[in-house]
Amino acid sequence: MYAKSEIKVHVLLLSVCVSNGLNYSISKIVMGGFVDPMAIILIRIVATALFFWVLSKLLKIDDTIEKADYKRLLLCSLLGISSNQLMFYNGLNLTTPINAAVMSLMTPIIIFLITHFVVKEKSAWWQVLGVFVASIGAGLLVFGKGVRMGADTIVGDILILGNSTVYALYVVLVTPLMRKYHSITVMKIVFVLAIPIVLPVGVSHLVETQWSVMGLIPWLSLAFIVLIGTIYNYYINTWSLKHVSPTVNGGYIYLIPFLATLFAVLMGKDILTWEKVIYGILIFVGVYLVGRKLRTE
């Protein structure tokens, strides 16, 4: 059985999956002739860095960091913030949301491989089985929606795959920092360190943006991307590493295709079939197995 604190972590990780499931399509709204991907990246990173910097001041958090940990923080910033964002938004701009969802399914697999074979984190047989079962369920669900990979999407697909790889490395590398320092401190530093990297490539696109032609929906979509898709998602995902392993954290990514399908059904844009129900059950069973704690008798 899960303790109340553990249930809280899993509920919050589920909420991140919900917002991530929406983020693919919402980002497409903003990039649909309104804001260049480079400008979106700069807005996300600067706004998030400012948010966590102000929050740390208001809460009077001790930001003392050991000198030896700054190299890891810089690497986390390069992988999990700047490279991750640059690859994701430029990749999404060159491919379809469905293709992006397929590529993102590699993230939990890469996390599992790194933690199991490199970090040597202990994994129970049911967690290995859970990764396998969830991979099958999510793969069947997404490929059943008509994945189309060709010359017109190959660059975007490769960028999203790169995004999945660098984010997986970030999750593994940031875990020791999250268990050593305050979550807000880590978030503030990695986002601040990312600003000098994205500023040169994003500022010109930001200046060229025609803000006056944006209607209410694109503005609300941009607000969602910054407040929920960046600040909330990054914080909860990273904070959860204080309480669960990187493998468990990454396992929730498998839920995103199922939730995206569920939203489409509720909005009348997709049809619920028995096959999709079975795929959804496979995903939930897999995530449950991955999330089961490794106990020693």
Which H helix or E strand runs over 88?
Answer: helix 84-93
User: Cα–Cα distance between 199 and 45 in angstroms, integer?
Assistant: 9
Q: Are 292 and 127 in contact (CB under 8 A)?
A: yes
Listed by start position, the domains of the chain span: 4-291
User: Cα–Cα distance between 288 and 155 in angstroms, integer?
Assistant: 34
Predicted TM-score (pTM) of the model is 0.82
Tens digits of pLDDT across the chain (297 residues): 455 667 888 899 989 988 887 877 788 788 877 899 899 999 999 999 999 999 999 999 988 899 999 999 999 999 999 999 899 888 878 877 667 777 777 788 788 788 877 777 777 777 778 878 877 877 777 666 555 666 777 888 889 889 888 988 999 999 999 999 999 999 999 999 999 999 999 999 999 998 988 889 999 999 999 999 999 999 999 999 888 888 788 888 777 777 766 766 776 656 767 777 787 788 778 777 776 665 443
Q: Are 13 and 237 in contact (CB under 8 A)?
A: yes
Q: Are 14 and 252 in contact (CB under 8 A)?
A: yes
Listed residue (48, 83, 40, 67) closest to 197, CA to CA = 83
